[in-house]
Amino acid sequence: QKEVEQDPGPLSVPEGAIVSLNCTYSNSAFQYFMWYRQYSRKGPELLMYTYSSGNKEDGRFTAQVDKSSKYISLFIRDSQPSDSATYLCAMSGFGGSQGNLIFGKGTKLSVKP
Amino acid sequence: EPEVTQTPSHQVTQMGQEVILRCVPISNHLYFYWYRQILGQKVEFLVSFYNNEISEKSEIFDDQFSVERPDGSNFTLKIRSTKLEDSAMYFCASSEWTSGYTFGSGTRLTVV
């Protein structure tokens, strides 16, 4: 069983739509959960960083963590063409500075004008 | 906004040659990392570095790889004898104690 599973898409939505991106994981030791956005041939850019279960909101982005189900989500409200990118979930068992990140394969999102 | 800087952006090298990839982490960060991403694959952890020593490394990071912080600002990844399968994007990252990592834009390494 893979440690982190993420539907690679591609996912295509019209501008203004609500986007839901998800990852499942198998390792119950994971405590830190991140979402990164990656444009083609660029490095991952941190969007959201959460610890343990719960919700976190930042502008149009909401991250949810359900540790009991080993399931994390990223919601994008009022999606824009500039949101078109690959979204990577990542997680670790320790604080971001002490544990290596395990990444999902990424979901490619396209937001059409 | 502080950023992690990587050079070169693209490196082409012949199989068997040594390459050094360079990174300048964010100045007040204490933890440094190298990750790689083979085309179409996941981002994979290679090594983490703290207090001038390796704190963790993956199975990928074998004896052909080494890291160094030669001065107060640079952080390097050396591959001693490159193989075709080393072709990938290599990302440097840095972090403070509890924040998420900040990644650089990467070095695309092509081994021919």
Residues of A in contact with B55 (CB under 8 A): 98
Is residue B87 scored above 70 in pLDDT? yes
Is residue A9 over pLDDT 90? Answer: no
Per-residue pLDDT tens over the stretch A45-71: 999 988 888 899 999 999 999 999 999
pLDDT band for A40, please (50, 70, 90 cuts).
confident
Segment holding B112, helix H or strand E = none
Contact A100 B99 (CB under 8 A): no
Which residues in chain B have Cβ-Cβ distances shorter than 8 Å to A106? Answer: 42
Strand B10-13 vs strand B107-111: parallel, antiparallel, or unpaired?
Answer: parallel
Mean pLDDT of A73-96: 90
- pLDDT in the model for residue B98: 57
Q: Does A101 lie at the interface with B, CB-CB under 8 angstroms?
A: yes
Strands A107-112 and A85-92: antiparallel
Average pLDDT over residues B40-69: 93
Determine the Cα–Cα distance for residues A73 and A110; give it in Å rounded to an integer: 18
pLDDT for residue A96 is more than 70? no
Question: By the CB < 8 Å criterion, does B48 face chain A?
Answer: yes
Q: Return all residues near B69 (Cβ < 8 A) that are at least 6 apart.
A: B32, B49, B52, B75, B76
Q: What angle do CA A104, B41, A73 make, to 5 degrees?
A: 20
Question: In the prediction, which pLDDT does A1 show?
Answer: 55
- Taking each continuous run of H as one helix and of E as one strand, the counts in chain A are 0, 11
Query: What pLDDT band is residue B70 in, cutting at 50, 70 and 90?
Result: confident
What percent of chain A is modeled with pLDDT above 90? Answer: 73
pLDDT at A52: 84
Phi-psi region of A78 (alpha: psi -120 to 50; beta: other; left: phi over 0): left
pLDDT given at position A42: 87
Phi, psi of B104 (to 5 degrees): -80, 180
Of all residues in chain B, what percent carry a pLDDT higher than 90?
Answer: 76
The structure tokens listed for A80 are 């824009």
Average pLDDT, chain B: 93
Q: Which pLDDT belongs to residue A94?
A: 65
Q: How far B17 CA sits from the closest chain A CA (Å)?
A: 24
Q: Do B56 and A103 touch (CB under 8 A)?
A: no
Chain A and chain B share a number of CB contacts under 8 A equal to: 66
Mean pLDDT of chain A: 91
Q: Which residue has the higher pLDDT, A112 or B55?
A: A112
**What's the rounded Cα separation, in Å, for the pair A79 and A16?**
5
Residue A107, helix vs strand vs coil: strand
How far, in Å, CA of A102 to CA of B43, rounded?
8
